[in-house]
């Protein structure tokens, strides 16, 4: 234990001397949590709408006002020229064209079917599809008979009553931050020792491999807890998000994940010879983990082959844990499958890192 204490003292001194890591530790969680939940969203608002009104009646004006008052659309232009509307789409000024026929008001008055043409710029397929869906819903509501329906749907959205996408994203951003710090910094650690030559001095000492790996792992475990704490504080102050479940349980499972992913970073560093190699390898895996880890999109919407691959990604299980604890208040029993999976990753990654570290002169 005395040897471990000296090794830890060395690691913490190296971290505290680094003028890049310390600002990252404190600034990155704050900046990322402020920017990402607003930027990384699938909510679509203020879709650029161009109306071609061949009718020009009070009915058509009323319908356009209803569309714009929904908050989903922003009226960019209107007129009775389809060519002008098409040019607006081609120039990127408009996303959706709504064409109102000349007999719109008369057909509405006679309760006849009214074909309304809608065109969309589908370069951004997500925005176009959602925009047309919103528009279709508004038009159906406007054209429906003004009678009280026999059945009335009363929705009850549990755990996120306002359907706020930021509640879904903030826990995911916390997972990203912990994964980045524990993954990249630990991946660079042993390699930096190789580059400056201190690894050769350690190799000829009687320090055991497991002590050496543990001394590399513990500092990033501590840093991970600092980032998690800062992230939870920012989530509360900025978004009003308070964990519905046990914070101690969240910290406990987070610690297990930090050990697992810190071990993954150390494992990568045992293969690399330079920091550049280590960075490239780490970013290769991190991109896969973030895109397929359920942080931005639900795993259930992925193809079957992708869902099968996600079973071998530790980020998937930790993302589920953080969201279930913070948003649903889940307990340890509910999270047992995820905890077991993260524990297995911790054993495999750290055991492999210890085995793979060749302590030779």
CATH topology of domain 47-143: abc type-2 transporter like fold (3.40.1710)
Q: In the chain, which segments carry CATH 3.40.1710.10?
A: 47-143
CB 194 within 8 A of CB 268: no
Q: How does pLDDT run across 261-274, given as a tens digit for each residue?
A: 988 988 888 888 88
CB 328 within 8 A of CB 318: no
CB 190 within 8 A of CB 219: no
pLDDT at 186: 80
- Cα–Cα separations (whole angstroms), residue 124 to 46, 47, 86, 227, 258: 15, 12, 17, 35, 37
pLDDT at 307: 93
Sheet-wide strand order for 47-53: 73-79, 47-53, 96-100, 117-120
Q: Could you tell me the sign of the dihedral formed by the alpha carbons of 29, 34, 38, 39, in that order?
A: negative
Three-class SS of 171-204: HHHHHHHHHHHHHHHHHHHHHHHHHHCHHHHHHC
With cut-offs at 50, 70 and 90, classify the pLDDT of residue 203: low
Strand positions, DSSP E, 85-160? 96-100, 117-120
Q: What is the DSSP string of 265-310?
A: HHHHHHH-SSHHHHHHHHHHHHHHHHHHTTSSS-GGGS-HHHHHHH
Q: How does pLDDT run across 78-119, given as a tens digit for each residue?
A: 988 899 999 998 888 999 999 998 888 888 888 777 888 899
Q: Could you tell me the sign of the dihedral formed by the alpha carbons of 175, 176, 178, 182, in that order?
A: positive
- Cα–Cα separations (whole angstroms), residue 122 to 44, 46, 75, 133, 331: 14, 16, 18, 13, 44
Average predicted confidence (pLDDT) for the chain: 85
Q: List the beta bridge partners of residue 334.
A: none
pTM: predicted TM-score of the whole model, two decimal places: 0.81
**Cβ of 205: how many Cβ atoms within 10 Å?**
10
């Amino acid at each position: 234990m005395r040897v471990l204490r000296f090794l830890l003292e060395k690691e913490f001194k190296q971290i505290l001397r680094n003028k890049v890591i310390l600002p990252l530790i404190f600034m990155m969680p704050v900046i990322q949590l402020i920017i990402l939940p607003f930027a990384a969203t699938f909510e679509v608002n203020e879709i650029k709408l161009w109306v071609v009104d061949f009718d020009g009646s009070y009915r058509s004006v009323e319908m356009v006002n209803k569309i714009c008052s929904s908050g989903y659309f922003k009226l960019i232009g209107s007129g009775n020229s389809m060519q002008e509307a098409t040019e607006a789409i081609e120039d990127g000024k408009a996303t959706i064209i709504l064409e109102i026929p000349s007999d719109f008001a008369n057909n509405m008055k006679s309760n006849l079917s009214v074909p309304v043409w809608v065109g969309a710029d589908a370069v951004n397929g997500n925005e176009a599809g959602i925009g047309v869906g919103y528009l279709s819903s508004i038009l159906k509501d406007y054209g429906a008979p003004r009678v009280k329906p026999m059945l009335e749907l009363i929705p009850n959205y549990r755990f996120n009553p306002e359907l706020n996408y930021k509640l879904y994203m903030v826990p995911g951003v916390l997972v990203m931050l912990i994964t980045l710090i524990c993954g990249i910094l630990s991946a660079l650690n042993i390699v930096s020792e190789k580059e400056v030559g201190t690894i050769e001095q350690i190799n000829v000492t009687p320090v055991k491999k497991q002590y050496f790996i543990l001394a590399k792992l513990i500092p990033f475990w501590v840093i991970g807890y600092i980032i998690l704490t800062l992230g939870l504080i920012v989530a509360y102050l900025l978004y009003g998000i308070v964990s519905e479940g046990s914070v101690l349980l969240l910290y406990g499972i987070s610690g297990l994940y930090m050990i697992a992913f810190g071990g993954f970073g150390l494992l990568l560093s045992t293969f690399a010879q330079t920091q550049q190699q280590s960075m490239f390898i780490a970013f290769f895996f991190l991109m896969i983990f973030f895109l397929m880890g359920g942080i931005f999109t639900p795993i259930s919407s992925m193809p079957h082959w992708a869902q099968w691959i996600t079973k071998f990604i530790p980020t998937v299980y930790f993302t589920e844990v953080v969201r279930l604890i913070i948003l649903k208040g889940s307990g340890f029993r509910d999270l047992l499958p995820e905890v077991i999976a993260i524990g297995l990753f911790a054993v495999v990654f750290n055991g492999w890192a210890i085995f793979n570290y060749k302590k030779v002169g």
